[in-house]
Structure 1
Amino acid sequence: MHNLLSNLRVDINSNLYLKDPESSSLGINIVKSSIDLIDLHGIEEFNFKKLAKEIGSTESSIYRYFENKHRLLLYISSLYWGIMEFQVVVQTSNMFDDMEKLLKALETLFSTPQTKCTSFQVEGQKLRHILNSEFVKAYHHKLVDEENEAGYFSIYKRLSSRLSGMIAAVNTNYRYSNSLSSLIIEGSLNQFFLSEHFHNLTDCHSKDNLYLFYKDLLTKTLTS
């Protein structure tokens, strides 16, 4: 798994950046340091002035890569979903039982992204924490339809479609595979967020609990 991911490059929509961050050490450092700062302070308190100070550069150099912090957040989100999609594909590639394959995908979605195997040598837990807290802000706004049309969420949607196909393979008569897929993917973030901030609103306070909850939901929904 590590060897397969060692040269992983996520194909992120080029409209999210002005210059490819992976094309230079500065660009890679911009993304890495952004993840550190957003994880620490949140997207509201994050800005390019703070980022420039962190990396010992100028705001203008950052603006050569990203138009604004919203596009940067979408880039980071795409990076996360691309890594998770690849991990799901690798972990399920040699599995033939449809239910076992679906449950392995489920388990993988609740794992930590292996970011250190990409150009961005950051802690996968930091990236997951950012998605838990900030991803909903990336698409709950007035321009989401335009951004969706531009393909900004293509990796996220592709992963959901892949999971939906696995659900349909388990039960071809189940009519809500897309809805169930999006519920699982959203839950892979939201349940962690609830556990951290609204403890009494969830029973899933660990990755194992979360997996068992969705395993129970899937098996009872698709095989009953």
Structure 2
Amino acid sequence: MIAKLQIQLNSALYLRDPQSSDLGQKIIQESIFLIDEMGFESFTFKKLSSKISSTEASIYRYFENKHRLLVYLISWYWSYVEYRINFETNNISDPKEKLKIAIRLISGKLKNDPNFPGVDEGALQQIVINESDKTYLTKNVDEINKEGVFTGYKSLCETIASFMKEINSQFPYPISLSSTCLEAAHQQIFFAQHLPRLSDVNKDGDIYEQNYQYLLTLIFNSLKQ
């Protein structure tokens, strides 16, 4: 199971690069299915080892604990989204169009990408919706931040903010607006699915399209465009 392309991630996220071996890629593939199916709280390396017909010890050679594995998966997702944004805006000069493409990619429903056959992007997106806050809402967030494990998320935030600054160089809060929208991109979907009174996104319609329209309104009104 060799991916045609690879997303380069900070080495602090793992003990051994899971993209470097068949077992590592199987760990990533099956952990996505299990976490999506049972939730992060119920997920264990013991259950994963049974799923991949291996041992817990073999998984610990790649990740020191399940939280670090979750951080890896979420980091892969955001780095992948940035890759898609860079690819799809490469030949576009209009910053408004670039920003609209970025908003579409952070808010829309992802389809599986044949360039990365070892990752189910749809299932991983649902993990981001349900579990991503757990990567940084932890007591030792300052410590793990120093290791650079959130570099991919920060880079994506800065990329989107750069489009905002192209549109309105005088706007004083591009990073804040960018990070707010990244959080809203999955939070509003979660609310629509589970806590509908907290969102105007209606699960009886296309929640991803509604989410996209909401973020368009929020961002461009803020930029006064």
CA–CA distance in 1 between the matches of 2:17 and 2:102?
30
Superposed, 1:109-128 pairs within 5 Å as 109-113=106-110, 116-128=113-125
Query: Identity across aligned pairs (percent)?
Result: 39
Q: 2:20 aligns with which of 19, 23, 32?
A: 23
- 2:174 maps to 177
- 2:221 maps to 220
- Does structure 2 retain, via aligned residues, the 8 Å contact 1:78–1:156? yes
CA–CA distance in 1 between the matches of 2:63 and 2:117?
16
Q: 1:150 aligns with which of 144, 147, 150?
A: 147
Superposed, 1:1-224 pairs within 5 Å as 7-113=4-110, 116-205=113-202, 206-223=207-224
CA–CA distance in 1 between the matches of 2:160 and 2:131?
22
**Farther off after superposition, 138-147 or 198-207:** 198-207
- Does structure 2 retain, via aligned residues, the 8 Å contact 1:16–1:74? yes
Q: Which has the higher helix share?
A: 1
Which residue identity does 1:47 align to in structure 2? T
- 1:3 maps to none
- Does structure 2 retain, via aligned residues, the 8 Å contact 1:19–1:65? yes
Q: Deviations over 1:145-186 (max 9, x none)?
A: 111111000000000011111111111111111110001111
- TM-score (norm: length of structure 2): 0.92
Unaligned ranges ≥5, structure 1:
1-5
Regions of 4+ moved over 6 Å = none
- TM-score (norm: length of structure 1): 0.92
1:218: Cα distance to partner? Answer: 2.1
Unaligned ranges ≥5, structure 2:
none
CA–CA distance in 2 between the matches of 1:211 and 1:156?
19
Distance 1:97 1:119, change over 3 A: closer
Equivalent residue of 1:219, what SS? helix
Equivalent residue of 1:107, what SS? helix
TM-align CA RMSD: 1.5
1:207: Cα distance to partner? Answer: 1.1
CA–CA distance in 2 between the matches of 1:19 and 1:64?
7
Q: How many pairs align? A: 219
